[in-house]
Amino acid sequence: MLQIGIYHPQGHSLLLDLSRRIRSVEFSTGEHGFEALTGFVPMPLADQFWLYDRPALHRMEAGAWGLRAWEGRLEDIQLSGDGLRLGAFGYQRALGDGPYTALWSTTGVADFRPFLDGAAFGVTASPERYTMDTNNRLFIGLNKGAIYGDVDHLGGYVYTAPDGGSRPIVAVSFDYEVLLPVDWSVSVYTLEGFQVWLLTADGTLQSGTVTLTSFVGDPTDDLVFMIFNATGGDYTATEENGAEYARFTALRIQSTTSAEIYADEIARDLAATANALNPTQMQTASALIASPGLDLRDEIYLDTAPADILTRLARLGDDQTPPRQWEWGVWEDRVLHFRPRGSAGRRWTIDLAAPQIEKTIETLRNSVYGVYQEADGRTLRTGVNTDDVSVARHGLTRRAAVTAQTTSEAQAETQRDAFLDDHTDPIPRSGIDIYRLIDAAGNVWPKWACRSGDAVTIRNVPVALGTDIDRILTFRVSTTRYAVDVDRLAVTPELPLPGLEMLLARREEGI
């Protein structure tokens, strides 16, 4: 018999053993770990009020023989005439308890703004005296006829990390190209007045690459890229607007000194942030957090739930060829995991009790062409790619047009082919009741031991049914739902993440 109890949120002290009293118990697992547990506990009204009045978020556990079947936090308590209805949810929910704001890395220039207040440097900021733009660069050029005072009338751009964010700026890299009069100053400062980098112009074209991983002074929330006259006297520009200039490209601003930023670093910080908000709800342990090996160049989060951030990071896959699908979740002991999908899953052989399998051609598309645009806006179409095997098998051609947000025919063809791979054969919709759960050694296990992410092979299905059954003969589990009272386990096979969806997510990231 499963032991089901309510525990103190700190430690393992048992407050109430419900094993022999709770009825209609069901619990589930899903993509991100333990999901929900519901049940009804008959009890007198006075006892109901005693439990109702306890502090919220006590821990609920179900288990037997030293194994954890389910754990989570008690969130819902409903009084009724004859008992309590309880609802608990897995500790993955702790990653939605509060928003997360942080800069990790940015390579864009859209968030730079003209610098308007030079008081911190004892000079006047005069953007009106310069030709400036942020067209995939930072450009600051002198205007013909403008007069620039000595160590005055600076022109510049400032980048500010998200207000209230948890991570200040500690590193910056960029390429520069400078063509300015002799002794003009080109520099990067923190808004606190610390000089990060300085170049003195010599009247010729100067260029180079700068990588700075340690700043003078403390980490900062603001970086100013600026130029100003340091010749010792007033300077009047005589060249055409923008002919004398400083240009910054290949910009990257980071909140870590690492040359590359990986998703596991972010995942660890998200766990630590959830722990700081609610220490009883999430551990800071990182042993189950692996690295996908992808450098993430543009990661800024503004008031975003950590759970949503982790979902996005998992969808990017990793640096393998082809990239693997990744997963995040929380199982025992409130520990976050981030790793290749199914890498820690167990393998089972099962006997089916009552399969429910539905086949439909609604999602079938075995012939595809891509739609894209020329640089001038004209709409173009790629050639058609058709899977002849699928057409012969289904006796039907179903064609789709895939719109690609690109001017590259090659990129449009890549997205076309990824869509075709995803839709060549329809994936059956199925729900499966398990009669018996068996491990690789032939041992029979309690049905609730099967979880989302485990691999399952059905042994009591005739393989002569055809190749369609291969979609479910061996599959990875997406969700499980176990009914304690009747010892019934229902599982649903996993639908793999469409390759096009992963491709687009990686393209957005610049991968």
Confidence of residue 336 (pLDDT cuts 50, 70, 90): very high
241-247 mean pLDDT: 97
266-276 confidence digits (pLDDT tens): 999 999 999 99
Confidence of residue 458 (pLDDT cuts 50, 70, 90): confident
Torsion of CA 335, 338, 344, 346, to 10 degrees: 80
Among 328, 300, 338, CA closest to 166: 300
d(CA 76, CA 215): 50
pLDDT at 430 over 80: no
Which pLDDT value is given to residue 427?
Answer: 65
Across 312-333, b (16+ Cβ under 10 Å) vs e yields bbbbbbbeeeebbbbbbbbbee
Contact 450, 492 (CB under 8 A): no
Mean pLDDT over each residue of the chain, to the nearest integer: 88
Maximum mean pLDDT: which of 39-53, 243-257, 359-373, 382-396: 243-257
Which pLDDT value is given to residue 344?
Answer: 93
Task: Find where tokens 């942030």 sit.
Answer: 273
Residue type at 192 in one-letter notation: E
Phi, psi of 137 (to 5 degrees): -170, 175
Residue type at 242 in one-letter notation: G
Hey, which residues does 211 pair with through a beta bridge? 173
Which pLDDT value is given to residue 469?
Answer: 36
CA distances from residue 198 to 47, 130, 184, 208, 321 in whole angstroms, order as listed: 73, 20, 11, 12, 42
User: Helices (H) and strands (E) in the chain — how many of each?
Assistant: 7, 34
pLDDT at 236 over 90: yes
Which of 2.30.30, 1.10.20, 2.60.120, 1.10.10 is the CATH number of 103-254?
2.60.120
224-245 mean pLDDT: 96
Maximum mean pLDDT: which of 41-55, 155-169, 385-399: 155-169
Residue 307, Cβ density class (10 Å: 0-12 exposed, 13-18 middle, ≥19 buried)? buried
Write down the domain spans for the chain: 3-89, 103-254, 261-323, 347-359+428-492, 367-426
298-308 mean pLDDT: 96
Which pLDDT value is given to residue 467?
Answer: 38
Which pLDDT value is given to residue 80?
Answer: 81
pLDDT at 464 over 50: no
436-464 mean pLDDT: 86
84-93 mean pLDDT: 94
pLDDT at 135 over 90: yes
pLDDT at 108 over 50: yes
d(CA 193, CA 172): 16
Which pLDDT value is given to residue 19?
Answer: 92
Which pLDDT value is given to residue 299?
Answer: 94
422-447 mean pLDDT: 81
Q: What is the CA radius of gyration of the chain?
A: 30
258-280 mean pLDDT: 95
Q: How far is CA 95 from the centre of its chain?
A: 12
Q: How many of the other CB atoms lie within 10 Å of CB of 460?
A: 12
pLDDT at 112 over 70: yes
d(CA 281, CA 277): 9
Which pLDDT value is given to residue 217?
Answer: 63
Q: How many of the other CB atoms lie within 10 Å of CB of 407?
A: 15
